[in-house]
Structure 1
């Protein structure tokens, strides 16, 4: 006879608990989960996924993401289109030391103070918060950019130097949110994507953001020039020494200068490269006095 609900009786049975243990053991090896648009309300089943690297839990009814605290290997976390109104504290985000991409757009965030806890995430480079109430607040972008130090891209645009350095007015090319800095790093989800494809996509997004910054960040451009100058300065003695050695070798060879008619240029080159035994000197004697001449150096 069952004492309580059927579910409680079944789950308390010895065989059922053994089955649950096997499931939990298997979940430890999960590296990729994708639950998009399934009307899910909880993420509790992900607590045992300690090896998880890519988590797509978009377009559901999630309100609490604390179960992800044990997923310390996360690289990409997609939670857009849910009902999340607040984020866990800094301890939660400080534990996600590999997290690079975080998609939180189309949620219920309303306070900037709550979002600033993301500053504890040490490797976060791309974040989306558009279509949230907080994105309508004045200074929203300025606060996030200057709170999350490793951040490089926010809401379809790579962060410009003008947003980071106060009172620095740059030309149009380097201004915030200009077309050169635009990059949609959260495209529509595709069906049937694999873990390898997701990892390759993460690498592509990271490299694309870095490439945009390399060409549109004055600070990085100047740094690149200075590094190049210092490298050339340090290596110049080596090249100077090699150049001297080459000059000594060249002086040891006998140089002969000969005039060649432009009309016979192609034929002469063929003879030089494909018929080394050809009597070049005899042929060149006839071309010596032509108007169009070409210098050739024989060693």
Structure 2
């Protein structure tokens, strides 16, 4: 679908730029490169490392990929990420984003991704935000193009229920009333 993934998982990386001083894991199919030795892939796996932020993401992707703006699949699962950096909004072709198993605590962090027109799959399970009330409804409302959340399809019924939930939430906000727990 996106060519062989460029896989830097389980490398004990602390920062994203650390990738540049390492070699990707071998895959089932060899990685293809262009004449500048940049990868001809649309998939980057940096899962199961110790990355806590997105510093250097843009420069690293530009150094690695022949078409950095065409990155479609980014796996940052099982790291130590606490915040979703707006730098991800520059990846307009991003379709799959794996962030499960991190340390994201606030639902509002997800709202930053609403500007990604192609994002249709996201994973966030294993983050503290999954314990927030209306977690899934918030994601569906915030990310209108998403078809899969945490490996589970978003159904037509869920979209309808989320629409009702969102109208009620907006009404409470506009009248100054909020739900009392």
Does residue 139 (structure 1) correspond to residue 112 (structure 2)? The answer is no
Kindly report structure 1 stretches of 4+ aligned residues shifted beyond 6 Å.
none
Does residue 64 (structure 1) correspond to residue 53 (structure 2)? The answer is yes
Rounded Cα–Cα distance in structure 2 between residues aligned with 1:146 and 1:139: 10
Match of 1:55, SS state, is strand
Contact 2:110 2:142 (8 Å CA) reproduced: no
Name 2:35's counterpart in structure 1. Answer: none
Does residue 55 (structure 1) correspond to residue 52 (structure 2)? The answer is no
Match of 1:61, SS state, is coil
Contact 1:152 1:158 (8 Å CA) reproduced: yes
* Structure (1 or 2) with the larger CA radius of gyration: 1
Does residue 82 (structure 1) correspond to residue 79 (structure 2)? The answer is yes
Rounded Cα–Cα distance in structure 2 between residues aligned with 1:115 and 1:102: 11
Compute the displacement of 1:52 (Å). 5.2
Rounded Cα–Cα distance in structure 2 between residues aligned with 1:125 and 1:96: 13
Cα shift readout 1:187-237 (whole Å, capped 9, x = no counterpart)? xxxxxxxxxxxxxxxxxxxxxxxxxxxxxxxxxxxxxxxxxxxxxxxxxxx
Rounded Cα–Cα distance in structure 2 between residues aligned with 1:83 and 1:125: 23
Match of 2:122, SS state, is strand
Cα shift readout 1:236-261 (whole Å, capped 9, x = no counterpart)? xxxxxxxxxxxxxxxxxxxxxxxxxx
Does residue 37 (structure 1) correspond to residue 34 (structure 2)? The answer is no
What is the TM-score of this pair, normalised by structure 2?
Answer: 0.67
Pairwise CA RMSD: 2.3
Q: CA separation of 1:35/1:50 partners in 2, compared to 1, >3 Å: closer, same or farther?
A: closer
Rounded Cα–Cα distance in structure 2 between residues aligned with 1:66 and 1:124: 21
Match of 2:57, SS state, is helix
Rounded Cα–Cα distance in structure 2 between residues aligned with 1:72 and 1:51: 12
* Matched length: 136
Where is the helix percentage greater, Structure 1 or Structure 2?
1
Q: How does 1:93-242 map to 2 (within 5 A)?
A: 93-165=88-160, 166-167=163-164
Cα shift readout 1:96-133 (whole Å, capped 9, x = no counterpart)? 12111111000000001112111111100111000110
| Higher RCO structure (Cα 8 Å, ≥6 apart) | 2
Unaligned runs of 5+ in 1: 1-30, 169-299
Rounded Cα–Cα distance in structure 2 between residues aligned with 1:86 and 1:105: 13
Contact 1:33 1:55 (8 Å CA) reproduced: yes
What is the TM-score of this pair, normalised by structure 1?
Answer: 0.42
